[in-house]
């Protein structure tokens, strides 16, 4: 492979003297089979001369994005930062890989000059108001018309999504904390420089001395996005902050995320604004290994497909399909030849199969789709369609993760999924197997899920899952003897239980819970710590119960 070396002197002497502009011109012109070797240094990623592209990223807010490393239509490319730090200034998306094959991104640190969340130490608190001490240099703000506005270079926001309480010093949400939704302007007054009183109703009064975080950003800029690409590796990245996910991949094949560290910088208690990693309608094999994934505002990993809803039936071989969730508009996940299942919406059960003969876009929400095989659609019945050709085998191993709001792992794939050798210490369920046809419309009935040789704990017992391991397909109706999910094997794990059950689940064919060490603070009956309904075979054997005093 050819090597192109990029030095700081070359950037300084370039036409615009701007790293983002220079690197995008270089990537656009570079031939396949090239290593782009960047001299170790500190580089600002600015929106001023960035490449602008309309991007539809599932589970994010789509629109025109400012891209720093825009890697389009390339093969056999390595981008090596050699330990360089990338400083995002404003709403810029650091890496976007589109329609590529064999791309490696490695050896970078990614942070943002102005974080998309702010924080302050709680000085006083009551049900309807909290006084915060805010480091104005780290989290600049102003009060305008009795509303707090968050400021920064190339950044401003007077929209607040919500607030969450963290412990001071250990970078994790307070046990049994609640989301405090705002979804608009946050009334405030400045008592003195760096001391602000905010007015909002809190579901639980924050404790004096703890940290209250204020998230003032929608889902706009992930750190790394992989779109419609094949064989992409993300290695040895430190991601301190991003506007949404750390790494998100969609409609892509064979993705490896290795040795990445998602955790806060020294002064912040939070890392990414949503999931650490997120994979939508991928195929081949998705591997996440040897990573540290902590202190996010959402899950460690989410793997799923997307259901499309049948909005209109033209005939038995032609339907109008609707993208149901607004953060998936423009993300159409069917291609010609894809095998699909046709599902009953209330029960979420598969009723039949076909394949995509052709499709025509109506707009970002509706598509007309022709089927290869006829299906008898009944009048008055509601249906969803799932793309069976777009699911990956998943390997999640040897990771340290947790301290995050919400769940640990959300895993819904029709291919084999292996979770092994991890330390998972989340607020909600350590592992959740979801899917629904009523909210996010995330699909994926598991075939085989193997959970082995992990250490599993959870800290929040009132939110984000019924149990440490939670199987919760949200069908409106269940059919006795018919199951949505397949088989789970939970074995050789070290499990710590407090107030939550070990396992809660329904509508699965078989679960085996064996050879685990289960640490309990108090005596819990098996009926409590293993809860099932409408399932096939449940095997519980050879587990070791240990009473602890922690």
Which of 358, 387, 416 represents a domain boundary (last residue)? 387
- Whether the full predicted model's pTM is greater than 0.85, yes or no, is yes
Which of 233, 249, 283 represents a domain boundary (last residue)? 283
The pLDDT value recorded for residue 550 is 56
Asked if residue 358 is part of any domain, the answer here is yes
pLDDT tens digits, 322-354? 999 999 999 999 999 999 999 999 999 999 999
172: Cα separation from own chain's centroid: 17
The pLDDT value recorded for residue 460 is 85
Give the per-residue SS3 of 267-332: CCCCCCCCCCEEEECCEEEEEEECCEEECCCCCCEEEEEECEEEEEEEECCEEEEECCCHHHCCCC
pLDDT tens digits, 131-146? 999 999 999 999 999 9
Asked if residue 295 is part of any domain, the answer here is no
Same domain, residue pair 143 and 177: yes
Domain with 531 in it:
391-547
DSSP string covering 78-104, please? Answer: EEEEEEEEEEEESSEEEEEEES-EEEE
Same domain, residue pair 276 and 132: no
Asked if residue 163 is part of any domain, the answer here is yes
Which of 387, 413, 446 represents a domain boundary (last residue)? 387
Same domain, residue pair 513 and 434: yes
Nearest to 209 by CA among 151, 122, 294, 93: 122
The pLDDT value recorded for residue 198 is 98
Asked if residue 450 is part of any domain, the answer here is yes
Same domain, residue pair 442 and 344: no
Same domain, residue pair 166 and 21: no
Q: Which residues of the chain have pLDDT under 50?
A: none
Same domain, residue pair 457 and 522: yes
Number of domains in the chain: 4
Same domain, residue pair 80 and 177: no
Asked if residue 300 is part of any domain, the answer here is no
pLDDT tens digits, 71-111? 999 999 999 999 999 999 999 999 999 999 999 999 999 99
DSSP string covering 191-220, please? Answer: EETTEEEEE---SSPPPTTSEEEEE---S-
Same domain, residue pair 150 and 9: no
Asked if residue 292 is part of any domain, the answer here is no
Same domain, residue pair 374 and 419: no
- How far apart are alpha carbons 416 and 430 in whole angstroms? 19
Same domain, residue pair 427 and 542: yes
């Amino acid at each position: 492979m050819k090597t192109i070396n990029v030095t700081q002197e070359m950037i300084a002497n370039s036409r615009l003297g701007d790293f983002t502009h220079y690197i995008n011109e270089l990537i656009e012109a570079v031939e396949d089979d090239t290593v782009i070797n960047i001299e170790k240094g500190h580089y600002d990623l600015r929106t001023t001369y960035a490449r602008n592209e309309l991007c539809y990223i599932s589970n994010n807010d789509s629109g025109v994005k400012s891209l720093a490393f825009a890697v389009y239509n390339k093969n056999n490319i390595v981008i090596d930062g050699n330990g360089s730090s990338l400083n995002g200034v404003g709403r810029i998306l650091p890496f976007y890989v589109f329609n590529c094959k064999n791309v490696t991104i490695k050896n970078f640190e990614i942070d943002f000059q102005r974080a998309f969340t702010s924080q302050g130490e709680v000085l006083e608190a009551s049900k309807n108001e909290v006084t915060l001490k805010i480091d104005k240099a780290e989290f600049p703000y102003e009060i305008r018309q009795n509303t707090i506005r968050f400021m920064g270079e190339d950044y401003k926001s007077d929209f607040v999504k919500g607030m969450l309480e963290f412990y001071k010093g250990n970078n994790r949400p307070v046990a049994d904390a609640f989301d405090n939704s705002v979804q608009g302007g946050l009334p405030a007054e400045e008592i003195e420089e760096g001391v602000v009183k905010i007015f909002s109703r809190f579901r639980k009064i924050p404790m004096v001395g703890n940290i209250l975080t204020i998230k003032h950003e929608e889902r706009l800029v992930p750190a790394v996005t992989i779109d419609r690409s094949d064989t992409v590796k993300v290695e040895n990245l430190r991601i301190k902050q991003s506007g949404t996910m750390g790494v998100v991949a969609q409609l892509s094949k064979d993705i490896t995320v290795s040795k990445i560290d998602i955790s806060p910088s020294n002064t912040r208690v939070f890392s990414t604004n949503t999931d650490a990693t997120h994979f939508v309608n991928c195929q081949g094999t998705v591997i996440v290994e040897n990573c540290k994934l902590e202190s996010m505002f959402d899950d460690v990993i989410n793997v799923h497909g997307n259901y499309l809803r049948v909005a209109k039936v033209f005939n038995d071989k032609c339907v109008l399909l609707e993208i149901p969730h607004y953060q998936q508009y423009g993300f159409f996940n069917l291609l010609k030849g894809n095998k699909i299942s046709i599902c009953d919406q209330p029960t979420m059960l598969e009723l039949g199969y076909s394949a995509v003969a052709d499709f025509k876009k109506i707009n970002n929400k509706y598509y007309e789709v022709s089927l290869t095989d006829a299906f008898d659609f009944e009048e008055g019945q509601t249906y969803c369609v799932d793309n069976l050709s777009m699911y990956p085998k998943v390997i999640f191993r040897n990771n340290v993760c947790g301290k995050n709001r919400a769940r640990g792992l959300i895993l819904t794939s029709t291919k084999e999924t292996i979770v092994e050798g991890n330390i998972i210490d989340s607020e909600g369920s350590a592992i959740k197997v979801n899917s629904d046809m009523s909210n996010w419309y995330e699909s994926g009935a598991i075939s085989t899920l193997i959970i082995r040789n992990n250490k599993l704990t959870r800290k929040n017992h009132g939110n984000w899952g019924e149990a440490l391991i939670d199987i919760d397909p949200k069908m409106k109706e269940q059919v006795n003897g018919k199951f949505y999910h397949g088989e789970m094997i939970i074995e050789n794990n070290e499990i710590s239980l407090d107030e939550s059950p070990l396992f809660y689940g329904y509508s699965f064919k078989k679960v085996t819970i064996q050879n685990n060490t289960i640490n309990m603070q108090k005596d819990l009956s098996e009926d409590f710590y293993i809860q099932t309904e409408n399932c096939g075979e449940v095997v519980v054997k050879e587990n070791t119960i240990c009473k602890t005093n922690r």
